[in-house]
Structure 1
Amino acid sequence: MSEEIIKLTKKLQRVQCTLKAPKGQRNKFGNYNYRSAEDILEAIKPLLEEYNLTLVCNDRIEMRGNFMFNVTTAILLDCDSDQQISTENWAMHSESKKGMDSAQISGATASYSLKRALGNLFAIDNEQDADATNKHGVIPKNSTAPIPVSYRINLINTTASMDELAKIWKNLPKDVAAMPEVIAAKDKQKQKLGEK
């Protein structure tokens, strides 16, 4: 590890230990306080100046099968060097949400993805945040929540190699791997990949 990246890592550690991002928002329906991406950004600005850092956040849209994701990358740049540290968060777009039009759904998904990317970068604990129980369309890794079969079929259908297909198949729960529609998707993709 270079000396410059070590310096940046130490700056990030100081920021993580100093940052206080209050839960400045209130969910009246759920009766809890939560922090927004804007709350985090407001709290981080003085620390960025103090440690001569810059924060850049980028969004892009990615398709995985029939699912659309907002992918946010939060990049912390050291103004004293050309070093950077980044984190990424994926949030799945809902097809619909009661009382929201498509622009509002996109905005809410992007805002949530930004909040989680910033939370990951700056080590903001979300365990006590009631918002942490609201999934906002995100399918977390290592989740115990059931993943829809259609999502798993789409993963199978979008594999680019036999190795990738084998890896996905190996990680399927036995009851899902025994479903006729999942077996059919695997066989079809296997045949398609074998033709390449």
Structure 2
Amino acid sequence: MSIAEKLMQMQTRIRVPKSRVNDFGNYKYRSAEDIMKALKPLEKELRVAVKISDDAVAVGANVYIRATVSLIDLEDGDSISTCALAREPATPKAKMDDSQTTGSASSYARKYALSGMFLLDDSIDPDSNNAIDSGKPCSDAQEKTILDLAVKHNVNLEKLYKQQKVKNNRPTAMQAGKILNMFKKQFGVE
């Protein structure tokens, strides 16, 4: 199995519910630690390792923490990487020292790099009545995963795209999330 096939397996099987609650903002969320915990059994089973690293990037007067997530195939050494940025605030939040501010930006960047790699969507649930489609096209990774799953499960993509009102053969990010959720439910992946 190639590294891309292993990644697809992980993307379709991982489940990381938003089980934490922010009392101040009254919303549910998942943390980077929650994602990493859910990945460990899949890493062992598929013989891959997830590596995360951070570095600081200056853009003008702003400092960003760039988190890079790499998926490494332990059988042949191939790897796939993605990254995400989080900006350190110009002024630390009350009761936070400089190291806590950097740590907070690192956690945020790591969470979104992991979410990007494993297609964990933090937007409003596409099935929600409150969902509003921004029209932003899906990521290349989402599009590739949809195509791979359609081929693997013999799904008529043209028909599916017509049902989901996909225009120009490229789903929006919201449509892609909905299609991937449908695949997860229909094909019985964990």
* TM-score tier after normalising by the smaller chain length: 0.5 to 0.7
Partner of residue 9, structure 1: 4
1:99 is displaced (CA, Å) by 3.1
SS of structure 2 residue aligned to 1:50: helix
Q: Is the 8 A contact 1:69 1:93 kept in 2?
A: yes
Corresponding letter in the other structure for 1:110: S
Q: How many residues align?
A: 125
Deviation at 1:128, TM superposition (A): 2.4
1:35-46 matches, within 5 Å, as 35-46=30-41
- Partner secondary structure for residue 29 of structure 1: coil
Distance 2:49 2:77 in 1: 11
Q: Which has the larger radius of gyration?
A: 1
1:26-55 CA-partner distances (Å, limit 9, x unpaired): 100111110000010011110111100000
The match for 2:102 among 86, 103, 106 is 106
- Where structure 2 has 5 or more consecutive residues not aligned to the other structure, the ranges are 126-135, 137-190
Runs of 4+ residues deviating >4 angstroms: none
Superimposed CA distance per residue, residues 125-165 of structure 1 (whole angstroms, 9 cap, x where no aligned partner): 11128xxxxxxxxxxxx8xxxxxxxxxxxxxxxxxxxxxxx
**Residue 65 of structure 1: CA displacement?**
1.5
TM superposition shift of 1:24: 2.7
Percent identity over paired residues: 35
Farther-moved stretch of structure 1 (43-52 vs 6-15) = 6-15
- Partner of 1:38, secondary structure, is helix
Give the SS at the match of 2:4: helix
Q: Secondary structure at the match of 2:112?
A: helix
Q: Which runs of 5+ in 1 are unaligned?
A: 1-5, 130-141, 143-196
Aligned to 1:93: 88
Could you tell me how far apart the structure 1 residues matched to 2:95 and 2:22 are? Answer: 16
* C-alpha contact (below 8 Å) 1:24/1:36 kept by paired residues: no
Report SS of the residue matched to 2:2: helix
Aligned with 2:111 (options 112, 115, 118):
115
Q: 1:54 aligns with which of 37, 40, 49?
A: 49
Q: Give 1:66 deviation, angstroms.
A: 1.1
Partners of 1:105 and 1:25 lie apart in 2 by 21
Q: Could you give the per-residue CA deviations for residues 52-111 of structure 1, whole angstroms, max 9, x where no partner exists?
A: 000000000111111101011000000111200000111111022233221221111000
SS for the counterpart of 1:33 is strand
Give TM-score scaled by structure 2 length.
0.63
